[in-house]
Chains A and B, each alone.
Chain A
């Protein structure tokens, strides 16, 4: 279906990534947001707080990130599309409810505008050091989706994609911005509402007497309900059976946890989101994401002018990790160069997927600025040698 025109600010705009992300939430149909102020992410909800009273919805500033990240889930079970926004320290607090959303299969979106860490770190400066936390930060086994925009335009586009995927797979989706992408201002084109595809919530068509809250459909995803319609359903963070009732046994645990992870498999392979350039003849492939992919672009250009056959693989959907795509490249390239604004996170995933068939060279950075393209170029030159 198409977007509701009430939330779509059609036109050509000059927006920063945070504001573009906010417009993405509105276009995607989000009518509820809960947040807690934290740099460099607050602009997303500041804009939402300004826009939503004329669109028709709710913004509430909660007492902390714990509250914000669970209030959105109450809203979702009440029938809303909902999201929250934060950065590193707040993201750490939200881990509790990322686990709850994964466990209860509550579709919702967490925007994380990454800054330098650990702890309070570099509040106003960029990093990409929450990538592993986004995947593994809450306890137990579960799956999530993480998307990495590298421009304000993508902050708009991918936020809609994020909401759509969260509805389709019923998982929390992480929008992994960083301070640079969040605060850079560029042209953002917002199309007409009828040009924007929106995935509606898949509500059950069964009557209450036949409905089971966690009965998976053929795609391993159960149908949704909302409170107040006579289903008298029960949601719990305890291990639960298909009825949603607590069930403390290893068979239920095994069946439930495996499904929570397995249902996302299509996104690792055929439906992975990425951007590829010059891969046909590549001997060295730069694997990057977010703001670093824009620095890498320059390094790849410089390498090509020096006659090095460098290619680009930009990760857009970082989780589930696009294993088969990296594996395929590993079988035919000499090396991967992986620059990221951390001391090595996604590079381990690249190495795992490459299975030793190609060299994997990290280009780490402790955060606070972007890489100098020369540093990435040097790694490419080294890799091609």
Chain B
């Protein structure tokens, strides 16, 4: 408990509603996330982005993998899929191609998307599949007890690196850009307005979009490394974050205590998978090409 935390007595009127309620499965509350965890903050930002985008929520689907962030799919009041570990992106690929009118959002963690699912991530980015990938990066495998992830910075203690992590870690935004993402941004859960705005932007942008959100894990990552609680993480993010829109992703690698470069790094237009497919088939098959009618109500 942070020494500065105050108990604020308040009474919630019986008819009071949080504005995010329509976006959540309220019959599944309370959620499983720990006090101080940042995943809920990102979901809050996501609901704000959905609200502001005026998207038809019946046409928005969320696909998650496994892990703490993988549980987002279970709480979002949308068509939602909690898939297998690392496979959210290929599941989402099938969903999107079968039903292109869906806005498909992949919402998962750093271990899920970049260790076991790393191959799928780079290939979906290469294809410029029209998916919006939100990666909550808490720098560890939290659901299983705080093991080393491909994002865990050096010198950090984890459940499987009791003497300190020595493997180099991924710079996710550089990886995403190199693989071909049309949009790449990074924020922390301190940057709620910027995050919600970025989420709103990707809901309007075609192609493979990637947002990394650094998020605290007080229960495991911070406790083992004596980094305080959720509030301390917010202070840390505030202190070390530097907003540099358009910065080179090559300069955005993360360390345990160093600067966190945040901002929108990449926003470019590339034809997406479906456009490339159609263009290729039209040019080679001409009138013989039949537009995909994959989803069938009567078949």
The interface of chain A, by Cβ under 8 A from chain B, is 1, 4, 6, 29, 31-32, 34, 53-58, 60, 62-64, 66-68, 70-82, 96-97, 100, 198, 200-201, 203, 226-238, 245-246
Contacts and interface: CB of A to CB of B under 8 A. Distances in A.
B85 to A, nearest CB: 9
Given A63-B123, A234-B25, 10 more contacts: A31-B299, A34-B94, A60-B97, A62-B93, A75-B294, A76-B98, A77-B98, A78-B294, A82-B94, A228-B99
Interface string B10-50: 00000000000000010010000000000000000000000
A31 B82 contact: no
Most chain A CB inside 10 Å of its own CB: which residue of B59, B91, B101, B123: B91
Interface in B74-101: 74, 77-84, 86-87, 90-99, 101
B289 interface: yes
B79 to A, nearest CB: 4
Contact of A56 (B78, B95, B293): B293
A234 B58 contact: no
Contacts, number: 179
Nearest to B58: A230
Nearest to A198: B299
Contact of B74 (A68, A75, A245): A245
B84 A78 contact: no
A78 B74 contact: no
Interface of B: 25, 28, 57-59, 61, 63, 73-74, 77-84, 86-87, 90-99, 101-102, 119-120, 123, 277, 281, 285, 288-299
B290 A66 contact: no
Contacts of B97: 32, 58, 60, 71, 75, 78
Interface of B is mostly: mixed
Nearest to B285: A53
Contacts of A62: 90, 93, 123
B289 A53 contact: yes
A79 B91 contact: no
22 contacts: A31-B292, A34-B94, A55-B290, A58-B97, A66-B87, A66-B120, A67-B120, A70-B94, A74-B63, A74-B91, A74-B92, A77-B98, A78-B97, A96-B87, A227-B102, A228-B79, A228-B101, A228-B102, A232-B79, A234-B25, A235-B80, A246-B82
A78 B296 contact: no
Most chain A CB inside 10 Å of its own CB: which residue of B78, B84, B101, B290: B84
A236 B25 CA distance: 15
B91 A63 contact: no
A258 B25 CA distance: 28
B120 A29 contact: no
A53 B81 contact: no
A238 B82 contact: yes
A58 B78 contact: no
Most chain A CB inside 10 Å of its own CB: which residue of B102, B289, B290, B296: B296
Contact of B77 (A31, A34, A232): A232
A80 B294 contact: yes
A228 B61 contact: yes
A162 to B, nearest CB: 15
Given A79-B294, A227-B61, A228-B61, A64 B99 contact: no
Given A70-B94, A78-B96, A231-B79, A29 B119 contact: no
A279 to B, nearest CB: 38
Most chain A CB inside 10 Å of its own CB: which residue of B86, B90, B93, B297: B90
Nearest to B298: A200
A227 B83 contact: no
A384 to B, nearest CB: 50
The 7 closest A-B pairs by CB, nearest first: A74-B94, A79-B295, A78-B98, A78-B99, A71-B94, A74-B95, A56-B290
Nearest to A229: B58
B240 to A, nearest CB: 36
